[in-house]
Amino acid sequence: MKHILVTGGAGFIGSHTCVELLQNDYSVIIVDNFINSSPEVLDSIHRITKKDFAFYQCDLLDEDNLSRVFQEHSIDAIIHFAGLKAVGESVRQPIRYYFNNVSGTLNLLRQMEQHGVNRLVFSSSATVYGENNPIPYREDMPTGQTTNPYGTTKAMIEQILQDQCKCNSQWGVMLLRYFNPIGAHPSGLIGENPNGIPNNLMPYITQVATGKLPYLNVFGNDYSTSDGTGVRDYIHVCDLARGHVKAVESLFDEGGTKIYNLGTGRGSSVLEVVKTFEQQSGVPIPYQFAPRRAGDLAEYYADASKAERELNWQAEYSLADMCRDSWNFIQKQTPNTTGE
């Protein structure tokens, strides 16, 4: 049985990936600091899988505490999710993002070196492609011309990991560049429920649907897209979680760096997501247009054919599935929700 350390394992994507790992008979060690997650998620992971796992409340910037995790477990590989992730916030707080995301990763890599762990799957992002590449994005396109500090931290970490693999042929790293995860586990026990006002579209929509927020702000209606709103490649979080398990399965085959897009290959506009959510939930979503956000692009989506060829993975859920499961999760979190 392989032992997998999951940083940020109580977060949105991390928790769904932990479920997939446990259901595929991996031993899981979760590290999370609960900055944008909740301890209750750990109970939900256990309820879904009926399996036990180790947990450490630990910030990657706390290297002493992180070292204890490595000392107490024989770790075969790491899936690294932990990091700050809001594009708009990163524009307002660049130093915080660079320090947290890059320094935390360097601490993790130092511990890996010290304890002989040399397999890692990194949670990267389509933001590394920047604004100058044509769509759909392919893995062989140049990166680094990012439009916001969040994306730049991802590009920096990718470069660090590739340099490490060049330096040490024993290391094997997978860079998973994924697009816009939404949806929730079909059980309704885990999903996206961020602390405070959401930065991402779907939790913002669900907070409007439950009456927590009066309306949805749609940032930009003058893009050169079909309806003027931004277009993204939305992918169901369970599809994304399966992609991480596929990555782990092939991580031990050989060393070096491998890069994969995880997306559906199709773009959906903000207003298309709103309309689909209304259809699936029966709840109207009032919205108003707001100015574009700094760092946002008009449109992007993935060419995910490489992951299909080499990892035997492809997205299976539709946008309607994503909206249905998101609403199911929110209703289970707020049982008095009527949609009125």
Residue pair 93/153 in contact by the 8 Å Cβ criterion = no
Whether residue 286 is preceded by a cis peptide bond, meaning omega within 30 degrees of 0, is no
What would the two tokens of residue 129 be?
């492609």
Quote the CA–CA distance of 145 and 128 in Å, as a whole number.
7
Residue 237: is it exposed, middle or buried by C-beta count within 10 angstroms (0-12/13-18/19+)? buried
Q: How far is CA 83 from CA 56, 147, 157, 158, 315, in A?
A: 16, 18, 11, 14, 24
C-beta separation of 38 from 55 below 8 A: no
* Catalytically annotated residues: 150
Q: Which long-range contacts (CB under 8 A, 24 or more apart) does 43-46 make?
A: 44/15, 44/189, 44/190, 45/15, 45/18, 45/19, 45/190
Q: How far apart are CA 196 and CA 51, in angstroms?
A: 31
